[in-house]
Amino acid sequence: MFDPRKAIRAGRRRYICCTCMQYCLAGWCSSASTSGMETLVVVALATGASAWTYATNMTYSATITVDASQKYQTMIGGGCSGAFGIACQQFGSVGLSPANQEIVTQILFDENIGGLSIVRNDIGSTPGVVRGDVASILRVCPPTPAGPFNYVWDGNDTCQLQLTKTALKYNPNAYVYADAWSAPGCMKTVGTEDNGGLICGVRGSSNCSGDWRQAYADYLVQYVKFYEQEGIEVSLLGAYNEPDFNPVTYASMESDGYQAKDFLEVLYPTAKAAFPNISVACCDATGARQERNILYELEQAGGADLFDVATWHNYQSNPERPFNSNGKPNMMTEWADGSGPWNAYWDVTGQLAEGFQWAMYMHNAFVNSDTSGYTHWWCAQNTTGDNALIRLNHDSYFVSARLWAFASYFRFARPGSVRIEASSNVENVYVSAYVNTNGTVAIPVINEAHFPYQVTINLNGISPTTATAYLTDNDHNVTMVGQMQIGRTFQVTVEPRAVKTFFLS
C-alpha cells in the first residue's frame, strides 16, 4: 500500500541534472557521474511557460459528497507495454545503462512513484527474428492443423520477459496481460501475420488448409506456460488486437463479434483447463464504440460467457457509458496520442498528450464506463514522439506528466480498491473515490477551472481521521503539500488546472 513517507516528492517541472548539467523537461533525467554512481539531485527552475491561471475577486466554492454505501467497479490499475521490441530500448539496446534501466522501471512501477501495475505483452507471431517484431514461439508452421508443433522459448521474448520481471521486482502484484496481435500466418486466411485476415475455422473463412482454431488456442496457452516456467503468472490472455482495423503493414487479424464467438468457444475452455484462474479478454477494439459493437454481436451469437474482461482502446472513440459486458470488468488496454512531438507538459498547450488531459481521460473512463484499468501504449522509448510515458535518449531519460496523471490515481487507489460514489455540485470540478482493501480511501479531485476552488468534502459511510493532500499541476509532480486531521466534513483548496488527491487514513 502507498506509504507517504516513502513517496518521492518532486518540485517544479524543469530541472538540471547536477552531474551532466543536462536540461530536462517535465520530470527526471540522470547520467552516470565520473565515479560511476547515479545522481538524482535536481535544481528547480522557473517554468517559464504555463497555461494561464488567475486570482479572482470572489471565492468560488464547490461541494463534494462521497458515499461509501454505493459501490462500483474493482480497480486493476494503470499500465503500459513494451510491444514491438520497444522493451529492448528500455533494457539497453539504445544505450540506457543497467543502472538507469532499473531506475526507469522503478519510476514506472514502484507504488510510491509512478504506481503502475499492468504490463501488456505482445504474443509474437513473426517466424524468426525481425527487428521491431516479436518472434513467434512457433518458428516453423506445420502444413496442417495436425502438426507437429515445435515450440521454441528463447528466455527473452524480445525483452518483454525482462520488462515483466523488473516490473514485478518493484510491484510484486503486477497484472500481466498477454495479448496477440495476430495468429501465425499459417493459421489465417491470408497466410501471413500481416494484412489482417481471419482465423481459419471461423465463419466466413476460406483459403484454408483446415480448421486452425484449436491450434491457435493451444499456441496462446503455450505462451502462458512459458511464462509460468519463468515463475510469472499471466493474469489475462487475449487473442486479438484491434480486430476491427486492418493496418496492412504489421501483425493484425480481423474479426467481428460473431467470428470472435467461433474462436472464443475454443480458446475459453482450453485456457481454463490449463490455467483455471486465468481471465480471457475480448477483444481490444480500436475504440469504446467499436468494442461495444463486438460485444453486442458476441452476445447475439451466444458467446456472452466466453470472456472475462472486455478490453478496448481509445483511438477511435471515447467511453461515454457503461459497457454491455454483462457485469464483467472492462479495461482500456492501449492508447497514446501519437500525433506530435514529445510532449512532457502537464498543462501548457492543451494538446491531447499533456498530463492534465490524461487525468480527464481516466476520470471519464472510470466514472462514465466503470473502467477498471487504463494502459498507456509504450512504457519507455528512444523517441522524439509522444507514444511513451518516458522518453529515452541513449543513457538519459525524461518523464512525461502523463505518468504523473497515472500516479495521481494509482499511487493511492491500488489494485483491488473499489470505486464508490463521489459527486461534485459544479461542472468544472470532477471527483472520483476509491476504498482500498486496507480501508484507506483515495479521492482524486480535478479542477478544470483557471482559478482555485474552495471545496467542502462530505464523507458518508467512512470514518478516516487524517487526510494527506498530493498536488499535480504545472509546478508539482504528485507532491505532498499538506496533512490535516478530519471528521466527516472537511474543507480544502484545489488549485487551478490541477489534480489534488486526498489520501484518507
Going from N- to C-terminal start, the domains of the chain cover 61-69+421-504, 77-415
Map grid coordinates 490449463 to a residue.
Answer: 274
Of 2.70.98.40, 2.60.40.1180, 3.40.50.720, 3.40.50.300, the CATH number of 61-69+421-504 is 2.60.40.1180
SS (H, E, C) 357-401: HHHHHHHHHHHHCCEEEEEEEEEEEECCECCEEEEEECCEEEECH
Q: What's the CATH code, domain 77-415?
A: 3.20.20.80
Q: Distance (Å, rounded) from C-alpha 149 to C-alpha 250?
A: 24
pLDDT in tens, the chain (505 residues): 545 444 433 333 333 232 232 323 333 333 332 223 232 222 223 343 457 788 888 889 999 999 999 999 999 999 999 999 999 999 999 999 999 999 999 999 999 999 999 999 999 998 876 676 788 999 999 999 999 999 999 999 999 999 999 999 999 999 999 999 999 999 999 999 999 999 999 999 999 999 999 999 999 999 999 999 999 999 999 999 999 999 989 999 999 999 999 999 999 999 999 999 999 999 999 999 999 999 999 999 999 999 999 999 999 999 999 999 999 999 999 999 888 999 999 999 999 999 999 999 999 999 999 999 999 999 999 999 999 999 999 999 999 999 999 999 999 999 999 999 999 999 999 999 999 999 999 999 999 999 999 999 999 999 999 999 999 999 999 999 999 999 999 999 999 999 999 999 9
Amino acid of residue 128: G
Structure pTM?
0.91
Yes or no: say if 420 and 435 are a contact pair by the CB < 8 Å rule.
yes
Q: Which of 335, 305, 303, 304 is nearest to 319 (CA)?
A: 335
The pair phi, psi for residue 417, each rounded to 5°, is -70, 155
Residue 42's contacts (CB-CB under 8 Å, 6 or more residues apart) are: 10, 11, 15, 16, 17, 18, 28
The string of DSSP letters for 171-240 reads: -TT-EEEEEES---GGGBTTSSSBS---BBTBTT--S-SS--HHHHHHHHHHHHHHHHHTT----EEE--
The phi-psi region of residue 136 (left if phi > 0; otherwise alpha if psi is between -120 and 50; otherwise beta) is: beta
Map grid coordinates 514502484 to a residue.
Answer: 110
